């Protein structure tokens, strides 16, 4: 059986933040908040400090309005307002964290209330219909109905799922669209997008015992030993789930971390389990190259969502059962053993990937970028059961 499907959905319920950072324009200079922050960010990342950073007209004009006096006069230290901004929030500006930056400047009176961010709320979440998605899939199925002691189903799905937010609409914080000004900016692979999915199941009555290929004329005692055996199983495989590189930066919403910006080529995942530090990218050189393929966001910018794929997953559950017919019509006893994750196969969870505080070199054996510290599978479990059918 072949089935092709394409589904588009618009006006889906999702959450947005009405208190996201606004790119406020200074009416005197015409410079905007994000322009000023990004100029400072570029200089800080180039090695400048608060004493050498270029004064920005936005903060030179807005700072005195918040403080109620010129920065140089108030502090009597010949400190420009831009220098004070860097002193209070330089590390936040350097990584593009506009949300925390504006909060810090407002708290220290370097910005007036409601300049850049709401003076009353850190966030103001509401339900909106700005969500949209698309699914394209191909399903191929092969089925054998029960005959000659065997039945099975084999299904393969090749699909793409994209959206601008994968969370449930009424999720408490975390299910936000990235930017109210441009709801499409986070459009990309869904958090649950599975490119390849295979599942198969089978039931096989072993050909031993009365009426079967082997021991078809067995007496009652022999048939009780060799007949009535049944073997079954379920196999599942899926390709890896998408995930983003973290930044610990909140460039638009005070409660929504932005992913990093993809600027290069990322080496394919080749999990290295030889050392104590299990790394998704395989070796220190590959991890360093992967780290270099991303940069932190600029202030007011949103990064690249779900551009990496985690480890694939497969699992096998098996069952062995022995059926005994009872002398009463329609009555049967079944003894069975079920093994979940029968091969005790370990599946790794997605790695830890964040730019904040991470540095890697090709020779660093302790690089944390791409480190895997947890699993996505449960250990093997075996259960025994007795079942009476009547």
> Per residue in 243-260, pLDDT tens?
999 999 999 988 889 999
Residue 77 banded pLDDT, cuts 50, 70, 90? low
- Per-residue pLDDT tens for 331-383? 888 899 999 999 999 999 999 999 988 888 777 767 888 889 899 899 999 99
pTM for this prediction:
0.83
pLDDT of the residue at 21: 93
Are 213 and 308 contained in the same domain? yes
- Picking from 6-15, 54-63, 173-182, 284-293, which range would have the lowest pLDDT averaged per residue? 173-182
Has residue 76 got a pLDDT over 80?
A: no
- 228 or 239, greater pLDDT: 239
* Residue (of 91, 57, 62, 63) closest to 75 by Cα position: 63
- Per-residue pLDDT tens for 178-227? 998 899 999 999 999 999 999 999 999 988 877 777 776 777 777 777 87
pLDDT of the residue at 304: 94
Are 97 and 140 contained in the same domain? no
Structural domain including 78 reads 21-107
CB–CB of 11/132 below 8 Å?
yes
Are 382 and 315 contained in the same domain? yes
CA distance 103 to 178: 19
Residue 117 lies in a domain: no
Residue 29 lies in a domain: yes
Q: How many domains does the chain have?
A: 2
Residue 62 lies in a domain: yes
- Picking from 148-157, 270-279, 338-347, which range would have the lowest pLDDT averaged per residue? 270-279
Has residue 74 got a pLDDT over 80?
A: no
Are 265 and 225 contained in the same domain? yes
Are 101 and 152 contained in the same domain? no
Residue 182 lies in a domain: yes
Residue 126 lies in a domain: no
Q: What is the mean pLDDT of the chain?
A: 89
Residue 297 banded pLDDT, cuts 50, 70, 90? very high
Residue 5 lies in a domain: no
Are 99 and 139 contained in the same domain? no
Q: What beta strand segments (E) does 302-372 contain?
A: 308-309, 313-325, 332-340
Q: Which of 107, 127, 152 is the last residue of a domain?
A: 107
Are 282 and 320 contained in the same domain? yes
Has residue 174 got a pLDDT over 60?
A: no
Residue 288 lies in a domain: yes
Are 160 and 69 contained in the same domain? no
- Per-residue pLDDT tens for 100-118? 999 999 988 999 988 988 8
Are 177 and 296 contained in the same domain? yes
Are 148 and 188 contained in the same domain? yes
Are 77 and 204 contained in the same domain? no
Residue 220 lies in a domain: yes
Has residue 327 got a pLDDT over 70?
A: yes
The tokens 């929030």 sit on which residue?
89
Are 332 and 210 contained in the same domain? yes
- Per-residue pLDDT tens for 184-197? 999 999 999 999 99
């Amino acid at each position: 059986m072949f089935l092709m499907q394409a589904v588009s959905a618009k006006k889906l319920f999702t959450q947005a933040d009405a208190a996201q950072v606004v790119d406020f324009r200074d009416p005197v200079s015409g410079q905007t908040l994000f322009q000023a922050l990004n100029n400072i960010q570029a200089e800080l990342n180039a090695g400048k400090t608060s004493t050498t950073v270029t004064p920005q007209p936005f903060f030179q004009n807005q700072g005195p309005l918040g403080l109620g006096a010129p920065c140089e006069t108030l502090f009597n230290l010949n400190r420009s307002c831009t220098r004070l901004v860097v002193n209070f929030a330089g590390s936040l500006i350097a990584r593009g964290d506009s949300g925390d930056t504006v909060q810090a400047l407002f708290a220290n009176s370097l910005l007036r209330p409601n300049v850049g961010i709401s003076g009353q709320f850190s966030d103001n979440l509401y339900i909106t219909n700005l969500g949209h998605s698309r699914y394209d899939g191909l399903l191929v199925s092969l089925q054998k109905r029960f005959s000659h002691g065997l039945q099975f189903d084999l299904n393969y799905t090749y699909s793409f799922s994209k959206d601008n937010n994968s969370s449930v609409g009424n999720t408490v914080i975390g299910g936000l669209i990235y930017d109210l000004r441009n709801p499409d900016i986070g459009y990309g692979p869904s958090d649950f997008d599975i490119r390849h999915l295979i599942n198969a199941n089978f039931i096989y009555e072993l050909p031993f015992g009365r009426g079967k290929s082997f021991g078809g004329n067995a007496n009652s005692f022999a048939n009780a030993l060799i007949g009535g055996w049944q073997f079954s199983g379920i196999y599942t495989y899926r390709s890896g789930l998408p995930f983003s590189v973290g930044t610990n930066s909140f460039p638009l919403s005070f409660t929504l971390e932005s992913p990093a910006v993809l600027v290069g080529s990322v080496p394919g995942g080749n999990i290295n389990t030889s050392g104590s530090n299990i790394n998704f990218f395989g070796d220190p050189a590959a991890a360093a190259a992967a780290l270099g393929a991303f940069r932190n966001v600029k202030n007011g910018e949103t990064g690249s969502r779900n551009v990496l794929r985690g480890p694939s997953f497969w699992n096998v559950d098996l069952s062995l059962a022995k059926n005994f017919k009872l002398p009463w019509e329609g009555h049967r006893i079944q003894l069975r053993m079920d093994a979940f994750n029968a091969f005790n196969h370990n599946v790794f969870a997605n790695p830890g990937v964040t730019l904040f505080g991470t540095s890697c070199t090709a020779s660093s054996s302790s690089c944390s970028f791409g480190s895997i510290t947890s699993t996505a599978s449960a250990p093997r479990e075996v259960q025994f059961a007795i079942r009476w059918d009547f």
